[in-house]
């Protein structure tokens, strides 16, 4: 290790990246990849982020009752998720309009809203005092399954078709 003008250098650190740096670099490259696994990784990260948004809305509005809180939280987090999927997950910001992305994802979203609302209804009718944490955990579980359906729909059903010419 040498010191030059107040700067300490260590040649071994300059020529070799630490193992943690290599692992982080590999993970970042994997998430940025345009293949199915890269898109799925981004899809999961967006889903996790917007689930936190859902939980914050639901916890804040839970005093209005579980159903109004759930509907408002679902609407807000879904709009955000759809936009993040359009721009980040599928990098479709230039080729898919905002409204188109919202409409394409809305069918699966409605199915998810119905399934999560029914699940919350069953929970609240069987457990008289279910905590907010329990309610959010239930919604996260059901939403995870619906999210997998959504990924399949957005990845394979709504992808741009290539035109072949003969």
Residue 3 has pLDDT above 90, yes or no: no
User: What's the confidence (pLDDT) of residue 105?
Assistant: 78
**Placement of tokens 């809203």 in the chain:** 113
Q: Supply the mean pLDDT for the chain.
A: 84
Model confidence at 26, pLDDT cuts 50, 70, 90, reads confident
pTM over 0.75: no
What tens digit of pLDDT does each residue of 89-114 get?
888 888 888 898 888 777 778 888 89
What tens digit of pLDDT does each residue of 130-160 get?
999 999 999 999 988 888 887 887 777 766 5
Cβ density class 2-23: b for 16+ within 10 Å, e for less: eeeeeeeeeeeeeeeeeeeeee
User: What's the confidence (pLDDT) of residue 162?
Assistant: 59
Q: Which residues make Cβ contacts (< 8 Å) with residue 126, sequence separation at least 6?
A: none
3-state helix, strand, coil in the chain (%, to 5): 75, 5, 20
User: Over pLDDT 90: what percentage of the chain?
Assistant: 41
């Amino acid at each position: 290790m040498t010191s030059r003008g107040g700067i300490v250098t260590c040649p071994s650190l300059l020529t070799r990246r630490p193992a943690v740096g290599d692992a982080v670099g590999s993970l970042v490259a994997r998430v940025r990849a345009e293949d199915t696994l890269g898109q799925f990784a981004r899809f999961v990260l967006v889903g996790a982020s917007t689930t936190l948004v859902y939980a914050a809305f639901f916890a804040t509005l839970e005093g209005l009752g579980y159903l109004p809180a759930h509907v408002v939280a679902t609407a807000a987090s879904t709009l955000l998720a759809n936009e993040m999927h359009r721009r980040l997950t599928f990098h479709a910001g230039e080729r898919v309009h905002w409204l188109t992305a919202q409409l394409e994802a809305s069918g699966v979203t409605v199915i998810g809203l119905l399934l999560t609302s029914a699940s919350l209804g069953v929970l609240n009718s069987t457990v008289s005092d279910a905590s907010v944490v329990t309610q959010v955990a239930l919604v996260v579980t059901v939403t995870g399954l619906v999210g997998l359906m959504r990924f399949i729909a957005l990845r394979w059903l709504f992808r741009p078709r290539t035109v072949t010419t003969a």
